[in-house]
Amino acid sequence: MIRSATLPLPLPEPPVSAHDRLRLFSGSANVPLAQEVARYLGIDLGPMVRKRFADGELYVQIQESIRGCDVYLIQPTCCPVNDRLMELLIMIDACRRASARQITAVIPYYGYARADRKTAGRESITAKLVANLITEAGAGRVLAMDLHSAQIQGYFDIPFDHVYGSPILLDYLKSKQLTDIVVVSPDVGGVARARAFAKKLNDAPLAIIDKRRQAHNVAEVMNLIGDVRGKTAVLVDDMIDTAGTICEGARLLRREGARQVYACATHAVFSPPAIERLSSGVLEEVIVTNTIPVPEENHFPQLTVLSVANLLGETIWRIHEDSSVSSMFR
């Protein structure tokens, strides 16, 4: 005679609310920014083990159950770019295999964004390759800030939210109550960005620097389109890398009679010799955000770093609550 055993069933757990499904994890690229975002959202960063093996391989393990959760992974792919990107891919894969309900890659700075098209034969469009890698790893959505080229959004076949650091930069500039402002684009490719910035800055006039680049990371300033004489010039760009473009532009503006020169950029890439160039005194102030961490040893008197944590936190909350993101920038 076969008898069936009766197992006591555990009491059903209470249903998980939408707010409780929100989980936030940080890669190693910018932990302070992720902690600020977590504080804004009123939650803790999720526990995670990150380590590197002796041969250089990366290891990631999520230390809590995320089954059925909406996971947000904060990781700018800044220097060292390949390590940061690989860590992000491993984090995404770990969450996918842990049965996360939705995985959103929060990428404050999108590395390889400048390789967005072929400019010569037999080149890679690396920005598209990175998009493929993130999608194939298992991300269901991407949140990025101030892409070098807005068309990169189209490289993804998953929902993509593109936000801007300009409101934070604009609020700071307005608080300084500068007079006779002219917004300057450091190259022809940044005119649309500078024009939008000028419009929000009390419809300030616009000037353009015509620049011819002869090699990678080498900029040659040719001439200025517009009038800056006796005015406060504000150079606007999406990033400052080696600072060649910004500093050559600032010198040209000084020669053309600008009274003061400020530089604004969302991403402080600061590859050598950027610090030496920016601290040389040609600029009154260099205003950047913390999408990329700036080490204490790279700070200089003219540098101001503004936080984008509240903006990212509000965007994450709106995505989670299925609210409008674009209305934040109207």
The residues annotated with a catalytic role in the active site are 211
Beta bridge partners of 79: none
Query: What's the farthest any 2 CA atoms get from each other in the chain?
Result: 102
In angstroms, how far is CA 20 from the centroid of its own chain?
Answer: 26
Strands of the sheet with 218-225, listed across from one edge: 218-225, 206-215, 181-185, 232-240, 260-268, 285-289, 303-306
Beta bridge partners of 220: 212
Q: What is each CA distance from 236 to 183, 195, 249, 304, in whole angstroms? A: 7, 10, 11, 15
Q: What is the DSSP letter of 7?
A: P
Alpha-carbon gap, residue 100 to 73, rounded angstroms: 12
What single string gives the DSSP state of each residue in 182-244?
EEEESSGGGHHHHHHHHHHTTT--EEEEEEEEEETTEEEEEEEES--TTSEEEEEEEEESSSH
Q: What residue has token string 């609210």?
A: 323
What's the burial of 54, exposed, middle or buried (CB within 10 Å: 0-12/13-18/19+)?
Answer: exposed
Nearest to 98 by CA among 161, 47, 44: 47
Instruction: For the beta carbon of residue 48, count every other beta carbon within 10 angstroms.
Output: 17
Alpha-carbon gap, residue 62 to 73, rounded angstroms: 11
**Which segments of 241-284 are extended strands (E)?**
260-268
The pairing of strands 232-240 and 181-185 is parallel
Reduced to 3 states (helix: H, G, I; strand: E, B; else coil), residue 163 is strand
